Amino acid sequence: MTGAKVTPVASFPPNFFLENLVIRHDGSILITVTNQKHLYYVPRPDSGVATPQFLHTFEHSTTGIVELGRDVFHISTTLLSEDSPNILWRLDMRNLTPTAVLEPMPVLTFPPESKVLNGFCVLSSSVILRADSWADLIWRVDILEDCSAPSARVWLKHNMLAHSDDPKKFDVPGVNGVKFNHKDGHVYFTITAQTTLGRIRIDPGTLDCVGDPEDVTERWMWGDDLIIDKEAGVAYVTTHRQNTIERINLKSIVRM
């Protein structure tokens, strides 16, 4: 990919591990900072570099964030170094005012076999997927509109999603980023330790996966988070160690 332009939109202090973000309908941005356990708000960057505004500190590391309904966000927290409850939080910004105090509410504790929660994606208005980088699986979370009785179950567990058992790569995730492309009916995911981008088809009725996952690319990139341009049929994949953005044509499955 050539001709890409990179423009700073916000500046954070040194040693801030910016993990995930979501862009609101007005162009402002919510960003999780893993090592600080923080959530930040960045005003719409209309001109110049915006100043991040601190919103909340969690007890454990913040990882993924998604918007399930307009201005209703779900955030996951995890403890990277040892066993600890992995928690899903809900942040409702529908009635936001300049003086409002935003207080995320815990809505789900993941099963004890969960390890390190990572990438997030939305399948429907009530179903989200959550990558678990060291349990080598993807969780499905079902959430009712009133957020009562959410539930989590294993959506996909497969050797393809595995992290490395090499002691020298102890910090390299397995399945990492995850995104749904409703245009072709597949969920796409990066597996950093396996250096590939994979996908699996979903059943449009049940939203469960169908068949086995398959490689989309050859094994060459340490993929991390990704986004999908559904209209263009391409994925933009950030890489974990190479520090690149890769453009993958999902129709011809070639690097662009």
- Domain extents in the chain: 7-109, 119-256
Q: Is 184 helix (H, G, I), strand (E, B) or coil?
A: coil
pTM over cut 0.85? yes
Question: Residue 42 has what pLDDT?
Answer: 95
Question: Residue 2 has what pLDDT?
Answer: 63
Q: What is the CA radius of gyration of the chain?
A: 18
Neighbour-count burial for 84-112, b at 16+ CB within 10 Å, e otherwise: eebbbbbbebeeeeeeeeeebeebbebee
For strands 105-109 and 137-142, give the pairing.
unpaired
CATH top class, domain 7-109: mainly beta
Measured at the CA of 238, the angle between CA 234 and CA 239, to 5 degrees, comes to 130
Pick the CATH number of 119-256 from 2.120.10.30, 2.10.50.10, 3.40.50.150, 3.40.50.1820: 2.120.10.30
CB 192, CB 170: distance < 8 Å: no
CB 37, CB 77: distance < 8 Å: yes
DSSP-derived secondary structure letter, 147: -
Give me the DSSP letters along 26-63.
Answer: TS-EEEEETTTTEEEEE---SSSPBPPEEEEE-SSEEE
DSSP-derived secondary structure letter, 134: T
Question: Residue 101 has what pLDDT?
Answer: 81
Question: Residue 84 has what pLDDT?
Answer: 72
Tens place of pLDDT per residue across the chain (256 aa) = 567 888 899 999 999 999 999 999 999 999 999 999 999 999 987 867 889 999 999 999 999 999 999 999 999 999 876 667 899 999 999 987 777 788 999 999 999 999 999 999 999 999 999 999 999 999 999 998 777 789 999 999 999 999 998 998 888 999 999 999 999 999 999 999 999 999 999 999 999 999 999 999 888 899 999 999 999 999 999 998 889 999 999 987 655 4
